[in-house]
Chains A and B, each alone.
Chain A
Amino acid sequence: EAGVAQSPRYKIIEKRQSVAFWCNPISGHATLYWYQQILGQGPKLLIQFQNNGVVDDSQLPKDRFSAERLKGVDSTLKIQPAKLEDSAVYLCASSSGLAGGNRWETQYFGPGTRLLVL
């Protein structure tokens, strides 16, 4: 079974530029998550999708971050314009989505995209 795929693996941009990350979840997984992991910290959830609908985007800085999952499979996360403090690893994860919100459900993580904003 293929894991969660992310691209690019690394990206270096200047502040105020735009950047987009792509995620392909495990086949059949209904739930997709984007996390931001700043150096020295644990991952922080940015947005959670159930199929193509948003479940939780309470910690997404909506003035500059956007995410979509139009067909309920792949997802893109965009930052426009980027700030220095956006330098981080952006992790995508997926889970089956079959268990709903009240039971344990494993989240499988991709390798992440490392973003450096200069």
Chain B
Amino acid sequence: GEDVEQSLFLSVREGDSSVINCTYTDSSSTYLYWYKQEPGAGLQLLTYIFSNMDMKQDQRLTVLLNKKDKHLSLRIADTQTGDSAIYFCAERGGATNKLIFGTGTLLAVQP
């Protein structure tokens, strides 16, 4: 079956790097995504990676994909207080081709 897991909470200091991890079970996933959800708001797509890539960089964001271990990570460089939010990873593809979301990681940035 399809299952996506994340750690629940991460706390960092402003200016440090944050690394949010995610594991998934569906080896046929085609795309993997990172979404950001601020309090009371909908989900905002941050970045995505295709399953034949192992890294993607977009400004302060770096996505690493280890397909063998089914492990995805999101690194945020120079983390700011405005980065405080819940971050969801999601996979797409396989039998259903719909988005399967993880449980979300709450990132708290301390000034």
Q: What 0/1 pattern do residues 42 to 54 of B give for CB contact below 8 A with A?
A: 1111001010000
Q: Are the CB atoms of A42 and B48 closer together than 8 Å? A: no
Cβ–Cβ contact A41 & B96, under 8 A = no
| Chain A residues, Cβ within 8 Å of B50 | 104
Name the residue on A nearest B41 (C-beta): A111
Question: For the complex, is B74 an interface residue (Cβ under 8 Å from A)?
Answer: no
Instruction: Determine the chain A residues whose CB is within 8 A of the CB of B44 once the complex forms.
Output: 109
Contacting residues, chain A, for B4 (C-beta < 8 A): 42
Judging by beta carbons under 8 Å apart, are B98 and A91 in contact?
A: no
A residues in contact with B43, CB < 8 Å: 43, 91, 93, 109
Which of A56, A107, A108, A110 lies in contact with B96, CB distance below 8 A?
A: A56
B103 at the interface (CB under 8 A from A): yes
Q: With the chains together, A107 CA to B50 CA distance in Å? A: 16
Interface presence of A75 (CB below 8 A): no
Asked if B97 contacts A42 (CB within 8 A), the reply is no
Residue in A41, A42, A93, A104 with the greatest tally of chain B CB atoms within 10 Å = A42
CB distance from A115 to the nearest CB of B (A): 14
Task: State whether A111 and B42 are in contact (beta carbons under 8 Å apart), knowing that A40-B103, A42-B102 are contacts in the complex.
Answer: yes
Q: Which of A41, A48, A101, A111 contacts B103 (CB 8 A)?
A: A41
Which residue of chain A has the shortest Cβ distance to B89 in the bound complex?
A42
Q: Write the chain B residue with the least CB distance to A112.
A: B42
Query: Distance in Å from the Cβ of B103 to the closest Cβ of chain A?
Result: 5
Cβ–Cβ < 8 Å partners of B92 in chain A: 104
Q: Once bound together, how far apart are the Cα atoms of A111 and B37, in whole Å? A: 10
Q: Which residues of B contact A107 (CB under 8 A)?
A: 45, 99
A41-B104, A104-B48, A104-B50 given; name 5 further pairs at CB < 8 Å. A40-B104, A42-B103, A42-B104, A106-B45, A109-B42
Closest 5 CB pairs of A and B: A42-B101, A109-B42, A109-B43, A101-B97, A111-B42
Can you report 9 A-B residue pairs in the complex whose CB atoms are below 8 A from each other? Answer: A4-B42, A42-B88, A91-B42, A91-B43, A101-B97, A104-B31, A104-B92, A107-B45, A110-B42
